[in-house]
């Protein structure tokens, strides 16, 4: 099973949605790093379920336990292992899903691949709950990057067909990212928050769900991180992005819209500002040739509507080999986007830290 990622910073995740615990093993961390436990706890709380009407009512604290790799509050250089215990499980809600395949879930392909032995409770190892260990690792990475003057933040760009105006590049700052992290929804426009809550509530009342898009930024990233082709900075970020359940697409900078312009309209022209190289625009999202160019890095991901909905759906019974109907029971998010913001920040931070370590200390 593909539960491992990374070159210099190596991650291994484990656990299932309704198992005793889930966790992560992080290898390759430098020694003598002060751990900012407060920021990790804050980020874990941002992802944790059961806090409002637009998330699942499964209530998990997402408190973490560090089993190894820390001594007197500092990293030892040995692998760091952390676990998050599952506290609020209702596994009986999934009793019939061994045979009845949920539409747009991993159930059927997982049944085929693992010959029916996969854990279906809450999605098992395929569940979005497994992003909790990623947030632990990402928050740790963010605290390390911050000491190097690199800051990561993300915000909701849209929910269904409601779009939110993104801040201009000159507004991006650590203070802005901190402000967004404290909000119930990572959106600056309070009027749009009201409209989006209404849209999510409408979906919930109709036993349905909605998706959206999240835009992520990193500022203070030095030029020169990454490699061409297979180990490009875009490849690393995209690899992690598509490891997050519900992510169905990614674009950097102007993304797919860049195809609508002439080269003269979207080329990022260089200039000097106080002897520092800048670009007049950032249509390529801070990455050229797979390598950071010193401008803010930004990408956008699209999150599909949560497939677990209570509406009657058509599917199959794999045991009887017959068509059937299904009404999914249990506790599910009518919209996963608000809780996914911190997950997307985390994968950006993990990818950047891996590339910094890969650079052999040049950016220490």
Q: pLDDT by residue (tens digit) across 8-24?
A: 999 999 998 888 899 99
Does residue 58 surpass a pLDDT of 60?
Answer: no
Gyration radius from the chain CA atoms: 21
SS (H, E, C) the chain: CCCEECCCCEEEEEECCCCCEEEEEEECCCCCCECCHHHHHHHHHHHCCCCCCCCCCCCCCCCEEEEECEECCEECCCCEEEEEECCCCCHHHHHHHHCECCCCCCHHHHHHHCCCCCCCHHHHHHCHHHHHHHHHHHHHHHHHHHCCCCEEEEEEEEECCEECCCCCHHHCCHHHHHHHHCCCCCCCCHHHHHHHHHHHHHHHHCCCCCCEEEEEEEECCCCCCECCHHHCHHHHHHHHHCCCCCEEEEEECCHHHHHHCCHHHHCCCEEEECCEEEECCCCCCCEECCEECCCCEEEEEEECCCCCCCCCEEEEECCCCEEEEECCCCCCCCCCHHHHHHHHHHHHHHHHHHHHHHCCCCCC
Q: pLDDT by residue (tens digit) across 300-340?
A: 999 999 998 999 999 999 999 999 999 887 767 899 999 99
Q: How many C-beta atoms lie closer than 10 Å to residue 260's C-beta? A: 9
- Residue numbering of the annotated binding site for FMN: 125-127, 289, 304-308, 331
Q: What is the mean pLDDT of residues 207-233?
A: 96
Q: pLDDT by residue (tens digit) across 248-269?
A: 999 999 999 999 999 999 999 9
Q: pLDDT by residue (tens digit) across 113-137?
A: 999 888 887 777 888 889 999 999 9
- Per-residue pLDDT, 87: 80
- Residue numbering of the annotated binding site for NADP(+): 47
Q: pLDDT by residue (tens digit) across 181-219?
A: 999 999 999 999 999 999 999 999 999 999 999 999 999
Does residue 362 surpass a pLDDT of 50?
Answer: no
Compare 328 and 293 and report the one with higher pLDDT.
293
- CATH architecture type of domain 4-359: 4-Layer Sandwich (3.60)
Q: Full-prediction pTM beyond 0.85?
A: yes
Q: What is the mean pLDDT of residues 25-49?
A: 92
Distance, C-alpha 324 to centroid of its chain: 34
- Residue numbering of the annotated binding site: 47, 125-127, 289, 304-308, 331
- Per-residue pLDDT, 19: 84
For the chain, the structural domain boundaries read 4-359
- Per-residue pLDDT, 364: 47
- Per-residue pLDDT, 322: 96
Mean pLDDT (the chain) is 92
Compare 364 and 121 and report the one with higher pLDDT.
121
């Amino acid at each position: 099973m593909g539960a491992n990622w990374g070159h210099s910073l190596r991650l291994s995740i484990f656990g299932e949605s309704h198992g005793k615990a889930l966790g992560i093993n992080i290898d390759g961390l430098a020694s003598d790093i002060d751990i900012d436990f407060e920021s990790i706890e804050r980020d874990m709380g941002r992802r944790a379920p059961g806090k409002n009407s637009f998330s699942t009512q499964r209530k998990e604290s997402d408190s973490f336990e560090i089993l190894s790799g820390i001594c007197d509050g500092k990293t030892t250089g040995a692998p760091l292992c952390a676990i998050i215990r599952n506290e609020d499980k209702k596994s009986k809600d999934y009793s019939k899903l061994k045979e009845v395949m949920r539409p747009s879930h991993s159930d059927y392909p997982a049944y085929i691949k693992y010959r029916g032995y996969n854990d279906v409770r809450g999605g098992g190892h395929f569940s979005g709950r497994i992003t909790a260990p990623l947030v632990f690792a990402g928050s740790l990475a963010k605290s390390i990057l911050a000491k190097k003057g690199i800051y990561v933040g993300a915000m909701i760009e849209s929910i269904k067909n409601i779009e939110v105006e993104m801040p201009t590049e000159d507004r991006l700052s650590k203070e802005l990212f901190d402000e967004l992290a404290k909000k119930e929804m990572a959106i600056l426009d309070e009027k749009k928050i009201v409209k989006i809550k209404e849209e999510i509530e409408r979906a919930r009342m109709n036993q349905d769900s909605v998706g959206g898009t999240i835009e992520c930024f990193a500022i203070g990233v030095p030029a020169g991180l990454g490699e061409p082709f297979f180990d490009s900075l875009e490849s690393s970020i995209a690899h992690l992005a598509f490891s997050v359940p519900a992510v169905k697409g990614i674009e950097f900078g102007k993304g797919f819209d860049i195809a609508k312009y002439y080269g003269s309209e979207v080329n990022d022209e260089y200039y000097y500002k106080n002897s520092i190289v800048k670009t007049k625009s950032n249509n390529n999202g801070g990455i050229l040739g797979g390598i950071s160019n010193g401008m803010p890095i930004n990408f956008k991901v699209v999150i599909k509507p949560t497939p677990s909905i209570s509406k009657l759906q058509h599917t199959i019974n794999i045991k009887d080999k017959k068509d059937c109907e299904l009404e999914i029971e249990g506790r599910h998010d009518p919209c996963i986007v608000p809780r996914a913001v911190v997950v997307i920040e985390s994968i950006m931070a993990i990818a950047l830290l891996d590339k910094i370590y890969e650079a052999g200390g040049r950016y220490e």
